[in-house]
Structure 1
Amino acid sequence: MEKTFRAGETVPQATLEKSTMQHTYKEGDEFVFMDMETYEEGRLTRAQIGDRVKYLKEGMEAEVIKWGDQVLGVELPKSVVLEIIQTDPGLKGDTATGGSKPATLETGAVVMVPLFISQGERIKVDTQEDKYISRE
């Protein structure tokens, strides 16, 4: 939708609300969140959360941005700690300066990790860059 305004015409300012909500559980295709101030539940779809949904874990807090009753976006923490549920085993002699390999995290996300990282380890991941940060 496009709207053209004349020079000097005023446009009302949009008031955005940002609230901290905790992801409590998933029900079907919806993610249920609880507002940390009012304790009210809200439901968001995968489309409303965006591609960062791959890092969303039960109990995680996120900033939900709304305009009135409409959800405009969801901001996850810059980094999260998640467990690796599948990756190839490391080999003797693998070092931090070596190559990398794919690892599947508990949320289903796949990130590249150093060769020395093993299945079952917990790692810190940058949710904005989709990158391994460190071992936890």
Structure 2
Amino acid sequence: MKVYHSNNFKIGRKIVFDNEPYIIDSSEFVKPGKGQAFVRLKLRKFSTQQLIEKTFKSTDVLEQANVTEHTAFYLYNDGNFWFFIKNHTFEELLVEKKIIGSNKKWLLEQDQCSIILWNDQVISVEPNTFVKLEVINTTKFHKNNNVNNSTKLVELSTGAIVKVPIFIQIGEFIKIDTRSGEYVSRTK
């Protein structure tokens, strides 16, 4: 298996740490006035998106993770398993509910998404960065002291609850940023 030396700990590299696949979010080489140089990394775990910070000596090496990303379409779910089909090979993938996690609120049938595999096992499902969802329910608006920042809660077609401006009505489609879960704009 390929390994990375500390001088090759670059942002975006996929590595194995504590027998789990991670991606390097940031890398900082530090050469103190006294003592050995080291590298400070921020690592994001693929399966949970948890961010950790670790320090490595300049002599340390990390194993490259055999992580692949595939584009797939979400087909349906039966409550416990979610079914996807790869775009190019038409291979069907079965994904457990726990792997989908909170991303289920951004997936509609026939939506395209990214499937992350590690050693041929699905470890993460990532929806598109922006999704278009229908508002199916809304709460009553309670006027705030600040009129320019008035929002209300709405329920979307996937069951997600999002804060939106007060002018959004039931039946409208809105654009949501799946990374933050925030309203972006109205769409048609």
TM-score (structure 1 length as normaliser): 0.84
Contact 1:85 / 1:120 at 8 angstroms: preserved in 2? yes
Contact 2:140 2:152 in 1 (8 A): no
Paired residues of 1:90 and 1:116 also in contact (CA < 8 A): no
Partner SS for 2:105: helix
Question: Are residues 1:125 and 2:176 paired?
Answer: yes
Q: Do 1:89 and 1:119's aligned partners in 2 also have CA atoms closer than 8 Å?
A: no
Instruction: Tell me the equivalent position of 2:11.
Output: none
2:70 paired residue among 19, 24, 49 = 19
For 1:9 and 1:119, how far apart are their aligned partners in 2?
A: 56
The Cα offsets for residues 28-71 of structure 1, whole Å up to 9 and x where unpaired, read as 31110001111011111221122121111101111111112211
Other-structure match for 2:120: 69
Query: Which residue pairs with 2:92 in the alignment?
Result: 41
The letter for the 2-side match of 1:97 is N
SS at match of 2:158: coil
Aligned pair in 2 of structure 1 residues 114, 14: CA closer, same or farther (>3 Å)?
same
Q: Counterpart of 1:50?
A: 101
CA offsets 1:79-119 (integer angstroms, 9 cap, x no match):
1000000003679xxxx934101000000000001011101
Considering fraction of residues, name the structure with more strand: 2
What letter is aligned with 2:125?
A: V
Ranges in structure 2 where 5+ consecutive residues have no aligned partner: 1-16, 20-57
Q: Please give the residue correspondences for 1:75-114 in structure 2 after superposition, counting only pairs within 5 Å.
A: 75-88=126-139, 97-114=148-165
Kindly indicate whether residue 110 of structure 2 is the aligned counterpart of residue 59 of structure 1.
yes
Indicate the SS of the match to 1:128: coil
Distance change >3 Å, CA 8–CA 26, structure 1 → 2: same
| Structure-2-length-normalised TM-score | 0.62
Structure with higher RCO (Cα < 8 A, 6+ apart): 1
Kindly state the Cα deviation for residue 12 of structure 1 after the two structures are TM-superposed.
4.4
**Identical counterparts, % of pairs:** 35
Number of residues paired by the alignment? 129
Bigger Rg, which one: 2
Tell me how large the CA RMSD over aligned residues is.
Answer: 2.5
How many Å apart are 1:13 and its aligned residue? 2.4
